[in-house]
Amino acid sequence: MPDLLQQLQETTSFIKSRYSDTPQIGIVLGSGLGNFSQEINVEVEIAYNEIPHFPVSTVEGHHGKLIFGELSGKKVVVMAGRFHYYEGYTPDAVAYPIRVMKQLGIGHLLLSNAAGGVNPAFKVGDLMIITDHISFGIVNPLLGKNHGELGPRFPDMSEPYTKEIIKKARKIAADRNIKVQEGIYYGVTGPTFETRAEYKLIHKLGGDAVGMSTVQEVIIAVHMGLPVFAASVITDIGIREEDNIITHEEVLQAAKEAEPKLTAIFRQLVAEL
């Protein structure tokens, strides 16, 4: 089996044979947020199953293709559909596309996800700018051999989400009268939604929202020195006294309703980066 560096070379060579421009910004779309791609002046689309060494998305609400084009005057590459540890992929496979986008030339990474609200002040449909995360509930994608060409053995995680980009996003939201929450994202493996006791524990540990993605991607991005911004759509509220049953269909519907607000922020953020 080829090692990581060889795989990356083969993947990027294939992509460059289909798209010769250099993307400036990478964007990852979470559950129910795939319509964002309609904002892009699309130049090339490549299905994941065509790309050497690329995983294939298996979750409803994730389209499964790389989209190259222009948004707000910038060249972008967009992942319409991401990968999750609960699908059976290894942590490094989950984050492999982030490495690929960095090798293609991106200078910033924007991430979105659907998350469960843990902070009792949150409501379904809220947007939460992620200011930090807790990764104890996931498997670190940097376990194993470190490739010094990609990043250091012990990357510093004191600022995984770039404060300067958060500041820009905060102003963009305020200028458009879009209410945004800010908070800490607690990463878990899934695929089960949390129990009542787990939601309460996560809240006590400092989490404002909980989700099954993003953290492994951010660790890989920080390892490679990529500035990161991430936002969650709060699609359900975990700590509540009434019926606590949550379905994936409800998550997708809540994400769809909040999508225009997130799209407005991302579109302007791309213009300003």
Q: CA distances (Å), 205 to each of 82, 122, 166, 188, 208, in order? A: 27, 17, 23, 13, 9
Between strands 108-117 and 25-29, the pairing is: parallel
Residue 257 is predicted with a pLDDT of: 76
The C-alpha atoms of residue 147 and residue 22 are separated, in whole angstroms, by 24
Vertex 172 angle, CA 166 and 176, to 5°:
145
221 vs 207: CA distance, rounded Å: 21
Q: What angle do helix axes 215-223 and 91-104 make, rounded to 10 degrees?
A: 50
pLDDT of residue 240: 61
The one-character DSSP state at 143 is: -
Q: Number of helices (H) and strands (E), helices first, in the chain?
A: 6, 9
Residue 201: partners with Cβ closer than 8 Å, 6 or more residues away: none
Q: Do residues 115 and 233 make contact, with C-beta atoms less than 8 angstroms apart?
A: yes
Is CATH 3.40.50.1370 the right assignment for the domain spanning 22-272? no
- In 30-146, beta strands by DSSP E: 41-47, 65-71, 74-80, 108-117, 127-137
Secondary structure element (H or E) that encloses residue 257, with its range: helix 248-272
What pTM was computed for the model?
Answer: 0.93
Q: Residue-wise pLDDT tens for the chain (273 aa)?
A: 469 999 999 999 999 999 999 999 999 988 666 677 888 999 999 999 999 999 876 655 556 899 999 999 999 999 988 899 999 999 999 999 999 999 999 999 999 998 999 999 998 889 999 999 999 999 999 999 999 999 999 999 999 999 999 999 999 999 999 999 999 999 999 999 898 899 999 999 999 999 999 999 999 999 999 999 999 999 888 766 666 566 767 667 777 778 888 999 999 999 999
Q: Which residues pair with 213 in a beta bridge?
A: none
The conformation of residue 27, written as its DSSP 8-state character, comes to: E
CB atoms within 10 A of CB 2: 11
Scored b (16 or more CB within 10 A) or e, 52-85 reads: ebbbebebebbbbbbbbbbbbebbbbbbbbbbbb
Whole-number Å distance between alpha carbons of 240 and 243: 8
Write down the pLDDT at residue 244: 58
pLDDT for the residue 24 = 98
